[in-house]
Structure 1
Amino acid sequence: MKYTDIDFNNKNILITGAAGFIGSNLCFYFQENYPEANIIALDCFRSGETFSNGNLKSFGHFKNLIGFKGQIISGDINDSALLEHLENSYNFDYIFHQAAISDTTALEQDIMIKTNVNAYEELLKIAIKHKANMIYASSAATYGDSDRFEIGYESPNNVYGFSKVMMDNITYKYLKQGVDISIVGLKYFNVYGPREFYKNKTASMVVQFGHQILKGDTPRLFEGSDKILRDFIYIEDVVQANIKACNPKKSGVYNVGTGKARSFEDIVNILQKELNIDNGKEYIPNPFVGSYQFFTQANIDSSKENLDYEPRFSMEEGIKAYIPQIKELFETEVKKG
């Protein structure tokens, strides 16, 4: 489905983080809808390198791009030689900057700031030089402990959320200077859907619960899960927001959610219904009380007004659309593992 009147055929489109969850979905959106688009897919593909918490430094996985026909570059956005190559060898029309260290539990503040903040500003300078509209991934993690999920009420409680606030601040600085491109930051809430599996432990609870149920396990929920509410958004609506952000009525930073908070209990109920399997539920104490968000719900009024964004998928519809891939991954990846 096309989300805009813009014809992206014969346009030069850079997608960073292209082997990740959202980046790979964008690659295939353009490939399927605009076969003549020139897509440059940049990713720092995974190696065995890990952070001190044991998680991989990069979640980029080649399997997310099987079937992709565009150009692939393996590289680190902190590499000045790579940035120079991008600046001098291409003339981009659009840059979708999804690359980031997105692990909210990573403790390495230095590499988080360098990768998420400083590299973004360098890419933004390239966008301005090329007159390329910039669309980048901000995050609902910027809200942290806030009880208002609207722009201007950010209160990050980890370095990842802080880094995304700093990205947004860079955006405001350049917009204030009157640049002649549009710049749009998108604060994603809890995204789920196809091509997230290779995020491992940081993949959504939708796919994790789905695979627990298919294994025959009883899904384990925190006590009071019916009262732990998040704004869960299906990947197709995130793609829609990115595409509509190419031609905004107004540059700026916008929430990308559904505007409706749902519970983890709802996820398990919908999955068990769609899979036609009832393994019951097990409740365990929540060890994160005091450092855990019990509620998130995006205020999407400005996103609707300035991006013409309108979420299409309820949680029921999103999970139903996702079920075939949850089953396929269970057969091809989980059972083998």
Structure 2
Amino acid sequence: MRYINDDLKDKTILITGGAGFIGSNLAFYFQNNHPEANIIILDSFRSGKTLSNGNLKSFGHFKNLIGFRGEVISGDINDKDLLLNLELNYKFDYIFHEAAISDTTALEQDLMIKTNVNAYKDLLEIAIKHNANMIYASSAATYGNALSPQIVGRESPQNVYGFSKLCMDNLSKEYMKKSNIAIVGLRYFNVYGPREYFKNTTASMILQFGHQILAGKNPRLFENSDKILRDFIYIEDVIQANIKAMHPKESGIYNVGTGRARSFQDIVDILQKELDTTLKCEYIKNPFIGSYQFHTEADISSTKEKLGYEPGFEMEDGIKAYVDEIKRVYAQEVKK
């Protein structure tokens, strides 16, 4: 679906983190709907480097970009020489900043702040020099254990990742006061959909439960999973929010969710219906009680008003749209 009628002929769009989940979906949105635009992808791509928790430092994967015809640059946003090259040798009209250390369990506070906050400031400076509108990934992790519905202005991050995203938001607010470009921060809630597989263990529970079921395993849920609720949002609605943020009525920080909380039990029940299975659920004790969000629900009133955003996918719709891709990934990546 095409979300704007703008003529993007000869416009140059930079997507950082473009080999990741959301970035690659953005790249294909523009390629399919605005083939006259010039799309530049910057991503550090994965290597063998890991964080202290054992997870990969970068989740970017070339397979997310198979079929992409634009320019691809491999590089780290912390590299000052790379950023200078981008500033001097390109002229961007829009910057979609998705690159980040996005692992909420990462312990490297120094790397998190350097990558998520300091490098973002450098990119903001490029955006201002190029007169390019900036759309960047914030996160619902800024809210921590705040009561639902989560409302911008009521943040209480519980990990360094959420703190780093709140720092980005605070920095953005200062730049909004002194620059003429549009700056929009999008606080993503629980996103799921195609091209998330290479996030490994941080991929959505929709994908992970789907693969459990396809393997014939009983879905394993925490006890009382019908009472653990999240605002799950399908990738297509996240793309819609990003595209509509290109020309907002007002710069700002906006929630990107459905505005409706659904349970983990709902996920399994809908998947079993779509996959035509009747496996028995197994319930295990939740070891994260006390450090676990039991309810998230985005207040999207300002997102609707200022961006013209309107979520189009209930969980049933999103899983139905996603299920063939869940099967394909299982056959081609998991079972191989």
1:73 corresponds to 2:73? yes
Per-residue Cα deviation, 1:49-88 (whole angstroms, up to 9, x for no partner): 0001000000000000000000000000000000000000
Alpha-carbon displacement from aligned partner over 1:98-153 (angstroms, at most 9, x marks no partner): 00000000000000000000000000000000000000000000000111401000
Q: Give the structure 1 partner of residue 165 of structure 2.
A: 164
Structure 1 residue 239 corresponds to structure 2 residue 253: no
Structure 2 residue 200 is matched with structure 1 residue 203: no
| 2:87 counterpart of 1:87 | yes
User: Who is 2:190 aligned against?
Assistant: 190
Q: 1:15 — aligned with what?
A: 15
What is the RMSD computed on CA atoms of the aligned residues?
A: 0.5
CA distance in 2, matches of 1:176, 1:328: 47
Whole-Å separation in 2 of the counterparts to 1:170 and 1:290? 31
Partner of 2:39: 39
Deviation at 1:296, TM superposition (A): 0.2
Q: Secondary structure at the match of 2:23?
A: helix
Aligned residue number for residue 297 of structure 2: 297
Alignment of 1:48-63 (within 5 A): 48-63=48-63
CA gap 1:129/1:268 in 2 versus in 1, 3 angstroms? same
Which secondary structure state, in structure 2, belongs to the residue aligned with residue 2 of structure 1?
Answer: coil
Judge which range, 160-169 or 272-281, deviates more: 272-281
Question: Which of 91-100 and 139-148 deviates more?
Answer: 139-148
Counterparts of 1:156 and 1:196, CA distance in 2: 24
Cα displacement (A) at 1:176: 1.7
Q: CA deviation at 1:5?
A: 1.9
The DSSP-based 3-state class of the residue aligned with 1:92 is coil
Q: Which amino acid aligns with 2:75?
A: G
2:327 paired with 1:311: no
Q: How many residues align?
A: 335
- Offset at residue 36 of structure 1 (A): 1.4
* Structure 1 residue identity aligned to 2:32: E
Q: What residue is the counterpart of 2:143 in the other structure?
A: 143
**Tell me, what secondary structure is at the counterpart of 1:320?**
helix
Q: Write the letter of the residue equivalent to 1:293.
A: Q
CA distance in 2 between partners of 1:250 and 1:37 (Å): 24
- Find the counterpart in structure 2 of residue 286 from structure 1: 286
**Secondary structure of 1:152's partner?**
coil
SS at match of 1:112: helix
One-letter amino acid of the structure 1 residue matched with residue 159 of structure 2: N
Identity of aligned residues (%): 71
* In the alignment, structure 1 residue 2 sits paired with structure 2 residue 2: yes
Residue 135 of structure 1: SS of its match in structure 2? Answer: strand
Query: Which residue identity is paired with 1:175?
Result: M
Counterpart of 2:297 in 1: which secondary structure? coil
* 1:9 shift after superposition: 2.5
Give the Cα separation in 2 of the matches to 1:37 and 1:332.
Answer: 32
Alignment deviations for residues 234-266 of structure 1 (CA, whole Å, 9 cap, x no partner): 000000000000000000000000000000000
Q: Greater CA deviation, 168-177 or 158-167?
A: 168-177
> Structure 1 length as normaliser, TM-score?
0.99
Distance between the aligned counterparts of 1:8 and 1:25, measured in 2? 18
How far residue 4 of structure 1 moved from its aligned partner, in angstroms, is: 1.1
Structure 1 residues 61-140: aligned runs within 5 Å: 61-140=61-140
Distance 2:245 2:305 in 1: 12
Q: Distance in 1 between matches of 2:194 and 2:221?
A: 23
Shift of 1:42: 0.4
5+ long unaligned stretches in structure 2: none
What are the equivalent positions in structure 2 for 1:219-258 lying under 5 Å apart? 219-258=219-258
